[in-house]
Amino acid sequence: MARVIGGLTTSHIPAIGNAIAKKMFQDPYWKPFFDGYPPVWKWLEEVKPDIAVVIYNDHGLNFFLDKQPTFAIGAAPEYRNEDEGWGIPTIAPFKGDPEFSWHLINHLVADEFDLVTCQEMAVDHGFTVPMQLFWPNYEDLGIRTVPLVINTVQHPLPSPRRCYKLGLSLGKAIESYPEDAKVVVLGTGGLSHQLDGKRAGFINKQFDMLCMEKIVDEPGYFLDMTIPELVREAGAQGAEFILWLTMRGALGGNVKVLHSNYHIPISNTASGLLCLENAA
């Protein structure tokens, strides 16, 4: 049977993709950020996951407002990025696993999560940056991926509780897959940041600390928050924390923190990294 062996969170700022392309790992601005990742690589080398389910938000590459799904999932044999309008380098495609995707789709829809299913899907920095950060050699490893997209572009966004429940259902779906496979679930984006309006540049370290701490043993802390409350605390784009909560739901009960890192600022964002081992 498949098993959820752990969860990873990381910010997915597009500037990181450029810094990776330019190999700025030792640059004074970037070093405190990039130094967070080698301990996670060490764990990933030990556990050797077969599949990564990547929970992210599409920032206007694959989806536009003509058709804006709340939840969407990839079921394609491979996923490619595009330049997103900024000349971002196009990188090697990511391997999909349609059979596993369809298992998740069947389970999730039966469990009342009616996802949009995508046999073609362009993946943006929300997906590619975390994959590059955790698996710089993803192409050689051939790790299979499933993109799971949650709307953070257009309100109403799904609530923290709804996303956590999606995660619970996702975890059960993964663990009912008959094939032996080790699966990690990535919750990407965050932490606090705001790009738009007169409050642009808003960062809330105190709330981020709460997120980093409580998501481990007390995710219920966030589940009664409304999206406007989350926006007030975390910034307009900090609402991406719902992606972390979805990941946390998929891990089930007890988790152990193997590694964490927090750094202000990367671009306009407070960056957060967690490596959680599923103890359940």
Partner 1 sequence: MLHHDLPIPGTVLFDGTQAIKGYALNKMCYSFNKKANRDEFLADEEAYMEKYGLNEQQKQAIRAKVVLDMLEAGGNIYYLAKFAGIFGLNVQDVGAQQTGMSVEEFKEKLLRAGD
Least distance between partner 1 and beta carbon 79 (Å): 16
259 is annotated as an active-site residue: no
Q: Is 21 in the site for partner 1 (CB under 8 A)?
A: no
Burial (CB < 10 A; 0-12, 13-18, 19+), residue 63, is: buried
Length of the chain: 280
Is the distance from CB of 262 to CB of 273 less than 8 angstroms? yes
Alpha-carbon distance of 121 to 4, in angstroms, equals: 24
Rank residues 108 and 121 by Cβ distance to partner 1 and give the closer one. 121
DSSP string of 151-201?
Answer: --SSSSPPPHHHHHHHHHHHHHHHHT-SS-EEEEEEEES-SS---SSTTTT
Rank residues 104 and 234 by Cβ distance to partner 1 and give the closer one. 234
Q: Is 260 in the site for partner 1 (CB under 8 A)?
A: no
Least distance between partner 1 and beta carbon 189 (Å): 12
If we measure between CA atoms, which residue out of 16, 41, 56 comes closest to residue 186?
56
Q: Is 59 in the site for partner 1 (CB under 8 A)?
A: yes
For the record, the structure tokens of 256 come out as: 């152990």
Q: Is 114 in the site for partner 1 (CB under 8 A)?
A: no
193 is annotated as an active-site residue: yes
Q: Is 136 in the site for partner 1 (CB under 8 A)?
A: no
Cβ neighbours around 246 below 10 Å, total: 29
Q: Is 38 in the site for partner 1 (CB under 8 A)?
A: no
Residue from 27, 35, 82, 218 in contact with partner 1 (CB under 8 A): 82
Interface with partner 1 by CB under 8 A: which residues?
15, 59-61, 64-66, 82-87, 153-156, 194-203, 205, 226, 228-229, 231-232, 236-237, 263-265, 267-268, 270
